[in-house]
Amino acid sequence: MQGAARADAPLQLDGVGRRFGDHWAVRDASLTITPGESVALLGPNGAGKSTLVALACGLRRPTQGDIRLFGRDPRQAGARRWLGVVPQANALPEMLRVGEVVELVARHHRDPVPTAELLDGIDLAGARRTFCGALSGGQRRRVMVALALVGRPRLLVLDEPTTGMDAESREALWQRLADHHAAGGAMLLTSHHVEEAERLCRTAIVLRRGTVAERGPIAALKQRYGTATVTLDTPVRPERLGDLAAVRHAGATGRGRVELVTSDADETVRALVRAGVDFAHLQINRASLTDVVATLGAEEP
């Protein structure tokens, strides 16, 4: 363990591992989320995202290492006082009305957001008396978000929060989460939706086989690990372009165009011009976070 836990850190993991049978779902994971910080937790399926979230919320006990939620063991109820969770699966008692569920969760907090205000904020004011079992998938998701927000949390843990939401609801939720961030709230987000991660978080943690492969500002990660593609029409054969600056791979596309996979599109274009390559219809696809996750999250050979 690395010294004393930071009492003000919403979440801190030190060398955390969790084993299921003889499989380590999370191994030697260390990370800190500071107040107000929004962090995207990314990685391919099976990289350990859900287990890490379950550990952070106190749902599971680590096999080794130390987890602190606001300076305390997350398995203690008091540690979860400022935690708001949107779990991956919608979880609502079918036979309770929306308002009743919100009020039940509100009872756990000293200063909850008033139910009417909360439901209004996520466009569910009209559903207050609806049974949860009668809600649509997108409505359920929004109720889950409302439940996470009712206690005015300082850390939101969101596991795929916008799954099943239409574009409009997603936009409204992102706005609501931006408000949370603006008010100084921290966030840990897992998402397969890289647009969502980039929109809501400045920092990303990429998991590979249960361990933290890389952590840093999203922009820096993209620059470092992302690949752009430069596509062009040219009479030059692709093999002759493979040695240009920053190019990792050169090949022909199906339509007779040449595609250059590059770690730095700007550098590659400059090299094309310098080399006097004859080209037309240049198209550049910039580095995406998806590539970063694919590169970093890939199994080591």
Partner 1 sequence: MSSPPPTTEVAPEGVSPLTLVAAHTAAHLRELGRVPAALIANTLYPVAAFVLFIVPQRAIAADPLQSLVATGQLAVLGALSGFVFGYGIAVAEERANPWSQYVRTLPVPASAAVGARFVVAVVLVAASLVPLGLAAFTLSTAGQPFWAGELGWWRIPAAGVTTLVGGLPFLALAVGIAFSVAPRTALALAQVVVFPLALVGGLIFPPGLLPGWLDTVSLLTPARAARDATVAVLTDGTVAWWTPLVWLVWLVATGAFAVAAQRRDEGRRFR
Nearer to partner 1, 50 or 262 (CB): 50
What track of x and - describes contact with partner 1 for positions 45 through 64 (by CB under 8 A)? -----xx--x--xxxxx---
- CA–CA gap between residue 172 and residue 208 (Å, rounded): 32
The pair phi, psi for residue 14, each rounded to 5°, is -125, 110
Q: What is the dihedral of CA 92, 97, 99, 100, to 10 degrees?
A: -80
Q: Are 146 and 102 in contact (CB under 8 A)?
A: yes
Query: Binder to partner 1 among 28, 100, 195, 267 (CB under 8 A)?
Result: 100
- CA–CA gap between residue 54 and residue 299 (Å, rounded): 23
Nearer to partner 1, 48 or 226 (CB): 48
Nearer to partner 1, 37 or 291 (CB): 37
Nearer to partner 1, 79 or 228 (CB): 79
How large is the greatest C-alpha to C-alpha distance in the chain, in angstroms? Answer: 71
Nearer to partner 1, 96 or 284 (CB): 96
From 190, 193, 215, 195, select the one nearest 204 (Cα to Cα): 215
215-274 positions binding partner 1, by CB under 8 A: none
Q: How far is the CB of 100 from partner 1 (least distance, A)?
A: 7
Q: What is the DSSP letter of 288?
A: -
Q: How far is the CB of 85 from partner 1 (least distance, A)?
A: 4
- CA–CA gap between residue 65 and residue 15 (Å, rounded): 5
**Which residues contact partner 1 by CB under 8 A?**
7-8, 20, 25, 50-51, 54, 57-61, 70-72, 77-81, 83, 85, 87, 89-93, 95-96, 100, 104-105, 107-111, 147, 151, 157
